[in-house]
Chain A
Amino acid sequence: MDVLVIPLIAAAACALPIGTLARPLAVFAGLLTVVAAGVSAWVGGSPFESVVWAGPLGAQLAVGMDGMSTALLMLSGVLFATGAAASGGVRSPRAYFALWSLLQATVAGILIARDLILFFAFWEALLVPLTLLMWQWGGADRRAVTLRLLLSWMSGSALLLTGILALGVGARTFALADLGGYRLAEGSQVLFALLFLGAFAVRLPLFPLHAWHARAYVTAPLPLAIVLAGIISKTAIYAIARICLPLFPRGMADLAPYLIALATVGALYGALLAMRQRDTRTFIAYATLSQVDFISLGVFVGSPTGREGALIASVSHGLVVAMLVLLAGSLARRIGSFELGSGGLASRAPLLTTFFIAAVLTLIGVPGTSGAPGDLLILAATFARSAGVGLVAAFVMILSAAYGVGLLRTVFFGPAAVVAERPDLRWRERALLIPLLALVIVFGVAPRIIGDLAERDAPATAGPGR
């Protein structure tokens, strides 16, 4: 509960004339969320709370954290703090950080809601701050891009709401804990799974529902791109793993071949397109498309190994996207645009180069970084299901190497470039990157930290499908 209240308080505080304090406050709120989530995970206490919310509807204010949501909540805290810290010098800071904290609150709400109506409320409410942030602080072409994102997501939500209501009315409850014991007719599970997946797949985005995706990354202000790719897309992974899989085991099993095919194709597709990008932001967008589809593969194969891999890979991708976006921003400040220029930055900005290489290596899943264990587990789960799909998915590894080192070569290698006077990273930029890099390495060496969390699943979500 406190993970929801903390950002809300921060948002409310922005209504006061606090001026430049808004940014530290938002950073603090993010960090405090990490602490709060961590404390409730390790110190314990009753993780589930439930009060009647909208009684006649049957909706409850049921919140609770299991291992997966704890991990993602901590990730969200880190990313929101990082994004807030990177939002120096925005226009109308109070409004910005109020919306920012609201966004954080809605993400936290999605992750802790244990009631489908409540979940949907947060799922949908997230659109308001997100849309306004993009609309107001976005870059070129923000109107069309924002509307496209908004409408794509709402179309998905329309299906989700229908599904939730149909499910809840049939089961006479919306609480996930009670729904776990409810057996849907096997025949209708596919339909329900599709209705729910409609929303989750758009937000993920699962190929081919990614039309909103690439431009949103170009348009969104950089901090927003961090949370958009880093945590908001992960809420879709979370939702599939925590709602679709337990509630519709049969339907998900029936759909699995198609979903696996889409995820695999999406991973390949994103990787292929990432090779062609000439703009760091669209590069990150397509690499993210490839990665999140790959992560969703871990969920779709439907084994605990795959889910654990998906969680570890989600956390890793969140961290590495934050690094990449920050670095893309630093790069753009130095060469004046996000276009991939003529290269040759390595000798002028060795530190920037080092961080960029580390981020790219993490992105493509090199052992020793947090990118590897998740990818390994997902691939292992995929191979356990079908060696053929596994081989195709393993091909993504090769393509990711191609786009990763291709980007590095384009940007950093080659004859020394003519750039600004002091092109290397400033301390302010390093201060954001170093903790992220440290986390990436720590989780790479000891992925069990996240893995153990994932295994602390509360019994309430243990539906018949698990």
Chain B
Amino acid sequence: MTLVLVVAFPIGTAIAIAIVGGGLGRRTLGILTTIAMALSFGAALSMVASLRDRPSVSAFVGPWLPIPGADLALVVDSSMLAVTLAVTGVAALIALYSIDYLSDDRGSRGFFAAFALLVGGTLLVILAANLLLVFAGWELAGVAAYLLVGHHRERAPAARAAVTLFVTERVGDAALLSGTLVLLSELRTVDLAQLGGVSIEHGSMAGGALAAASVLLLIGALAKSAQLPLHGWLADSAEAATPVSAVLQTVAVTSGVVLLMRMRSILVPDVLDAAAFIGGLTAFAAALVAIAQRDVRRVLAWSTISQVGLMFVSAGLGALFAARFQLMAHALLKAVLVLGAGSVRRAVGDESDVGRYGGLATRMPWTAGAFGIGTLALAGIPPAAGFFAIAATVSAAYSENEAILTALVLLATLASAFAGVRLFTLMFAAPAASVREAHEAPPLQDIPFLVLAVGALGFGAVVSAGILPIGSGPTDTTPLWLLSATFTVALAGSVSAWLGYRHGLARAARIENAMHWAGNGLGTDTAYARGIARPLAAVARELDAGAERVNERAVGSFAGAALSVSRALRRSLPEGPQARQALVLAGTLALLAFWTLSGR
């Protein structure tokens, strides 16, 4: 029952706010949402004990669709409970932060409803007992993300980003649903426990279907978690308001990883390997792109893409502990970074070009400190959480003898550390580019922010010490030299970024020029525009001008033909008695001839 509450609190809040939230102000709505998230977190926390003595807890709410297994039912095991805790906890803090960040009441109802819906949808993905319910949560989260990104409806870039986001999400939805339905038609159930229990000969007929389903599910996960080549929406969504970015980059993107983790026993090994490889590639490439960004929001978005890539590596390799660890650590540290960046932007008048910051450490000390911790965590400098997570990932890749993946992860770590420290240096440490008044953010923003920073700092150590029951992993078995190598790489990236950007952007022209090629992302946006959107639009145009007109004209010409036959007929009908007489005679003769010929 408690399990139901975990999901029911956010979704119920979303519905309640949507229906009766009209008269309530921003503060009330925000507090309500925060409390709901906290309650959800509390409910999840209270389940820790009950999972001590059994592997999983499930809850059945009611029947849903007349498809085997498609009921309103939830299930949780210890690993998903950990993810639940991270999602709800971070969400509660982001909700608290956004109360003061949203400047006015207008639209706050829609914001908080969509916020709660996003968390609720993601929780469904994490906790649903069957794939169709996972799909429902998946798509609800997508809709909520669309509404959140489009929240500032007057802003054209946000509107465009919302459309991109939703269409990409829908690609993922369609892929997930297709994969689910292939599994359904082959295995006659969508229940995850039953699906996991089915064993199929690979290479058989069902094996082929399973492979197809696996590929489709992977595509769904890639789209949802913004991995190559479906990552564009997350970078664009940086246009959205800070709390939106925060919740997207900590909560929403995890869905794909969660799907991979939950479907691990069903997906075929090749697809899992592909997931790991794509993840590694994304992690490295996106980190490189992050280095080249000048918009602070985009740096963070690309960094998120990169970090989620690391989760894909672990999940694909079957190192579920590492994936989970990375997911939770990243949720904490990225929340710190995004919220911190939001406070800074607000403080300097909505300026988001990193070249125009600098010297803010003295003016916003709390923010700078917390942001620094987040940066260290991102860069993988111990004792912050990031290091442990990255080390777990590296060791997973290494223990699977995946040399390329290990290299990719280390390279990604290097680039990611560079990008993170570059951002911090330019914002806080470099000389001020322009003199501005900047003040520390209001306490309601700072508190959640600092709590998150503490989490990001201590989480890794806490987990490694085994205090939090999120399952155990192979960190302890990692060879020491690998840990040192990871640390060295992270440190190298961080130090070189510090050295390179210490004097501001202007003094780092060489690095900037070298990275210039990555400034516009990986070129997928234009490729999609050219390769898919434009041809589709052209097809639609041709259909409109061609098939549709032809169809209309065909009917028209049919009618026209009937009309001209009619006219011809009336012209040819005889006028006058003699002609009619002749017609009668002809008819008689025809009748006679017919009877004579047909008679016996």
Contact = CB atoms under 8 A, between A and B. Distances in A.
Interface of A: 148, 151-152, 208, 210-212, 214, 269, 272-273, 275-276, 305, 308, 344, 346-347, 350, 353-354, 357, 361, 366-368, 372-373, 376-377, 379-380, 382-384, 387, 390-391, 394-395, 397-398, 400-402, 405-406, 409, 412-416, 447-448, 451
Given A376-B177, A395-B174, 8 more contacts: A272-B540, A305-B66, A380-B181, A397-B177, A402-B536, A412-B153, A415-B154, A451-B66
Interface stretch (B73-81, B135-143, B286-294, B513-521): B135-143
Contacts of A448: 63-66
A413 B150 contact: yes
B178 interface: yes
Given A357-B147, A376-B177, A405 B166 contact: yes
Interface string B166-208: 1101110111011001101100000000000000000000000
Nearest to A387: B182
B182 A211 contact: no
13 contacts: A272-B536, A275-B537, A346-B153, A350-B110, A368-B140, A384-B181, A384-B185, A387-B178, A390-B181, A394-B181, A400-B170, A401-B169, A409-B162
Contacts of A350: 106-107, 110
B65 A346 contact: no
A354 B67 CA distance: 32
B544 A276 contact: yes
B178 A390 contact: yes
Given A376-B65, A413-B159, A398 B167 contact: yes
Contact of B163 (A361, A372, A379, A406): A406
A308 B67 CA distance: 11
A211 B551 contact: yes
Nearest to B552: A211
By secondary structure, the A interface counts as helix
Contacts of B536: 272, 275, 402
A423 B109 CA distance: 19
B143 A402 contact: no
Contact of A383 (B110, B181, B537): B181
Q: Which 5 A-B pairs have the closest CB atoms?
A: A401-B170, A413-B159, A367-B136, A383-B181, A346-B153
Contacts of B543: 269, 272-273
Contacts, number: 149
Nearest to A444: B136
B110 A354 contact: yes
Contacts of A387: 178, 182, 185, 209, 212
B87 interface: no
Interface residues of B, number: 56
Contacts of A305: 66-67
A448 B150 CA distance: 33
Nearest to B137: A367
Interface in B311-349: none
Nearest to A308: B66
B444 interface: no
Contacts of B534: none
B140 A383 contact: no
Nearest to B147: A357
A328 to B, nearest CB: 19
Contact of A394 (B160, B174, B539): B174
Contact of A367 (B135, B537, B554, B555): B135
Interface in B537-568: 537, 539-541, 543-544, 547-548, 551-552, 554-555, 559
Contact of A398 (B107, B110, B170, B559): B170
Contact of A377 (B66, B140, B175, B541): B66
Contacts of A380: 67, 181, 184-185
B405 interface: no
B204 to A, nearest CB: 15
A366 B140 contact: yes
A401 B181 contact: no
